[in-house]
Amino acid sequence: MTREQLTEKILDIKREKGWTWAHVTEAIGGVSPVLVVGALLGQMKLVKPLAAKAAALFGLTEMEARMLNEVPYRGTAMPPTDPLIYRFYEMVMVNGPAWKALIEEEFGDGIMSAIDFDIEIAREPNPRGDRVRISMSGKFLPYRYYGNEQGIAEYGFKEA
């Protein structure tokens, strides 16, 4: 069985049972719902206790539980063809340069981690149509200036 086949099996069981992602993530628990759903869709891994809970919930084999615990090959083809996912790329393409400038002005020369990272998704009622609120928080990781001479900063934190 491939990871893609396991994902399809999980989705088939979810459909058959009429479960929502909220039901699934509450039953498995342990980490952010985004991480649980990401793992069940093949983009993240579940730690062993959570892989065992997922396997019990979905009636998976021991081998399939172990597969949920493996580090997956992450990512999708570019550009994405799904309209919702494409809009995220569009947001980055249009707003990315401004986000980069604002983050570097505040923190210095570095990146926002997508590994040491939190994300929350919520519905925000609005009389003109409900809105999607996405809150992201990633650790700032400064670039390391290797080969630096005495008196030259080693990391790209914002200079005073």
Active site residues: 87, 90, 113
Residue 68 has a CB neighbour count (10 Å cut-off) of: 26
Q: Phi-psi region for residue 132, left (φ > 0), alpha (ψ -120 to 50) or beta? A: beta
One-letter amino acid of 20: T
Contact between 106 and 158 under an 8 Å Cβ cutoff? The reply is yes
